[in-house]
Amino acid sequence: MHCPEQYVKENGLQRKDAKDISSTYIRKMVWKSNEIVLDVGCGPGDVTSDILYPLLKNKINQLVGVDKSIEMVEYAKKTYGCSKIDFKVLDIENANDCSFYSHRFNKIFSFFCFHWVHNKVDSLRSMHLMLKNGGEILFNFLLINPLIELYKSMDAEWQKYIKDLKQISHDLYSQDEMREIFIKAGFRIINLETNVKKYTFPDFSSLLNAVKAVDTMYNILPQHLHDRYSIHVKDKICETQGVEICPITGITIKPYFTITVHAIKD
| Interface mask toward ligand SAM for 29-68; x: CB under 6 A | ------------xxx---x-------------------xx
- Residue span binding ligand SAM (CB under 6 A) among the ranges 11-19, 189-197, 242-250, 256-264: 11-19
Q: How far is the CB of 39 from ligand SAM (least distance, A)?
A: 7
What residues pair up with 142 in beta bridges, in sequence order? 258
| Interface mask toward ligand SAM for 100-139; x: CB under 6 A | -----------xxx--xx----------------------
Q: How far is the CB of 72 from ligand SAM (least distance, A)?
A: 5
CB 48 within 8 A of CB 81: no
Q: Is residue 93 part of the contact set for ligand SAM (CB under 6 A)?
A: yes
Amino acid at 202: P
What residues pair up with 37 in beta bridges, in sequence order? 63, 107
Q: In angstroms, what CA-CA distances link 108 with 11, 29, 105, 160, 231?
A: 21, 11, 7, 37, 39
Pairing of strands 85-89, 60-67: parallel
Distance from the Cα of residue 120 to its chain's centroid: 13
Q: How far is the CB of 132 from ligand SAM (least distance, A)?
A: 21
- Residue span binding ligand SAM (CB under 6 A) among the ranges 10-18, 146-154, 227-235, 242-250: 10-18
CB 243 within 8 A of CB 253: yes
188-247 residues in contact with ligand SAM (CB under 6 A) are 214
